[in-house]
Amino acid sequence: MVTVSSGVGNKVFRRGEVLLPEDGRGGEIGHLRVDFAADAPWCDCGERGHLGAVASGRGALRAASVLARRFPGSFARSALSAACGGDPERLSAQQVAAGVRSHDAFAVRAVTPGVRHLARTLAVLHTALGVGRFIVMGGFARAAGPPYLRLLGTEMSKAGGFLLPPDGAAGLLRPGAPDDDDGLIGCLRRLERSESRRDAVPQPVFPVADGP
């Protein structure tokens, strides 16, 4: 499961169970450093160049704003310019996602570098662990829709080469359900598992002193 929203996160599941150690560490691909440039964007954690800073919805918004200032002519001809009145400062991540969904060339160009970093990370998970399916969800990915998933598959195929299935990475990617219940369901199942483990652990028996 991969979430692309205000940040980037993941969990790996096997037979319905999430693969996490007891201390809960894991599922934080968003804090993997992928951009080593001196001016790489800042992550919320205070470090530069993390995947979540470049491949999230906020990362896509930043990339679109930077590109708009660098190439004002191309930006002026894009759907993003029309959406924000020609002012890059008024752009939103939702508008960038809508641009990708509508195949706007400027929007696709803006998000591609971040998608490429995410694709390479997912290719590593596939080749290292044999992950056979990626459920892609989160507000930005869901808003960008099928074109975003196809772009991710294309970049993943470039990164994975012969280690991917014959039909490329597209066969590994699936969209998440179009609702906002994912986090609630996950929390509930995690709580249920925690309760079942606690009930299964024998409770200590403390000796009682003799006497009245």
Residue 33 belongs to domain spanning: 2-197
| Tally of domains in the chain | 1
pLDDT band at 7 (very low <50, low <70, confident <90, very high): very high
Instruction: Tell whether 211 is covered by a domain.
Output: no
Contact criterion met (CB below 8 Å) for 11 and 1? yes
Instruction: Tell whether 212 is covered by a domain.
Output: no
Instruction: Tell whether 165 is covered by a domain.
Output: yes
pLDDT value of residue 161: 66
pLDDT tens figures, 167-189: 778 789 999 887 667 667 767 77
pLDDT tens figures, 33-52: 999 999 999 999 999 999 99
Contact criterion met (CB below 8 Å) for 60 and 40? no
Instruction: Tell whether 177 is covered by a domain.
Output: yes
Question: Could you please report the per-residue DSSP string of 26-66?
Answer: ---GGGSB----TTPPBPTTS-BSBHHHHHSHHHHHHHHHH
Radius of gyration of the chain (CA): 21
CA-CA distance, 30 to 44, in Å (whole number)? 10
pLDDT tens figures, 42-100: 999 999 999 999 999 999 999 999 999 999 999 999 999 999 999 999 999 999 999 99
User: Domain containing 58 — which CATH number?
Assistant: 3.30.420.40
Instruction: Tell whether 207 is covered by a domain.
Output: no
